[in-house]
Amino acid sequence: MPLTASRYGKGRVRVMRLTREGDHHTPRELNLTVLMKGAFDAAWTSGDNRACVATDSVKNICNVVAAKNLSLDKEAFVEALAKTFLDTYPQIEELHVDATETRWLRHSVDGAPHGHTFTLDGNGTGYVGLVASRAGAVLRSGLRGFTFMKTTRSGWVDFVDDQYRTLPDTTDRIAATAMDATWTWSGVPADYAAANARVLDRLIAVFGTTVSLGVQDSMYRMGEAVLAAIPEIAEIGFAMPNKHYVPINLAPFGLENSGTVFLPTDEPHGQIEATIGRG
């Protein structure tokens, strides 16, 4: 029976490229699918893999091209990726590259664009919850899945060092989260929408402009800032999963990674939760 169509490659190749110009950083995050068509039919029809490029190599090529092309926009990047494959492997007749972009928007603090603090485009959903009885009511507002990131001034050191630990100390990492935050009203503000906007402003400003010793450290100070700014809020609770960006080891390809190429991953993730109140 004839083999009428075939292709193969690698899906969900996630890569973050980060350009650093002093304190001004630019993240470029893509989720790639790279599929090859060509002289590979024997792998299907007779178990002959001699022409096949390992899909792990496809992933590695994506990372190497990323390291060599940190500043290219997504269109030029996929063109550079395709050229690398076609120049390297004569058995490839056609390459299909599909990529989705995670669009990070530069956040402004005090009216000025911040060098390394970003929010996700099309971000989050608003939340309101009410528990009402004849004795009274408790009203809560909040955000769900609000995603933000800073590309420096975050670390995680001096945690338990035992036989299960493999994670090294770091004093400079990307910190990112998809935050659920819920605040409980003890009074009625002059304008709920304005007060909610102020909550978000305080949360991101504290996160982005201060050194973080861990998600727990940032979370506590973010909560303190909200309570200090808005007296009508009694408490604020957080659930902040840690969205990890793991530096990619480029040494096998003769390249250094000076904090510019990362594997984005959120499964499994650290889950950090707390509530900060007035006492």
pLDDT in tens, 172-184: 999 999 999 999 9
Answer yes or no: is pLDDT of 121 > 90. yes
pLDDT at position 97? 98
Looking at residue 173, its amino acid is R
**Are the C-beta atoms of 185 and 233 separated by less than 8 Å?**
yes
Q: Give binding residues as ranges.
A: 55-56, 173, 215-216, 242
**Are the C-beta atoms of 143 and 123 separated by less than 8 Å?**
no
> Rounded mean pLDDT of 133-143?
97
pLDDT in tens, 161-170: 999 999 999 9
pLDDT in tens, 199-214: 999 999 999 999 999 9
Q: Tokens 């792990």 map to which residue?
A: 56
CATH number given to 145-277: 3.10.270.10
Q: Tokens 């000025």 map to which residue?
A: 112
Catalytic residue of the set 26, 33, 55, 210: 55
Catalytic residue of the set 59, 107, 150, 244: 244
Q: Give binding residues for O2 as ranges.
A: 55, 242
Burial class of residue 221, CB neighbours in 10 A (0-12, 13-18, 19+): middle
Angle between helix axes 192-209 and 215-229 (nearest 10 degrees) is 140
pLDDT in tens, 78-103: 999 999 999 999 999 999 999 999 99
Is 25 designated active site?
no
Residue 268, preceding peptide bond in cis (omega within 30° of 0): yes
pTM score, two decimals? 0.94
Q: Does domain 8-134 bear CATH number 3.40.50.9100? A: no
Is 10 designated active site?
yes
CA distances in angstroms from 198 to 51, 225, 233, 270, listed in the order given: 59, 11, 12, 27
Please list the residue range(s) of the chain that carry CATH number 3.10.270.10.
Answer: 8-134, 145-277
> Rounded mean pLDDT of 113-142?
98
Output the average pLDDT for the chain: 97
**Are the C-beta atoms of 212 and 220 separated by less than 8 Å?**
no
Spatial distance between the Cα atoms of 259 and 18, rounded to a whole number of angstroms: 8
pLDDT at position 279? 81
Catalytic residue of the set 10, 59, 107, 243: 10
pLDDT in tens, 20-70: 999 999 999 999 999 999 999 999 999 999 999 999 999 999 999 999 999
Question: b vs e for 128-155, b when ≥16 Cβ sit within 10 Å of the residue's Cβ?
Answer: eeeeeeeeeeeebbbbeebbbbbbbbbb
Q: Give binding residues for 5-hydroxyisourate as ranges.
A: 55-56, 173, 215-216, 242
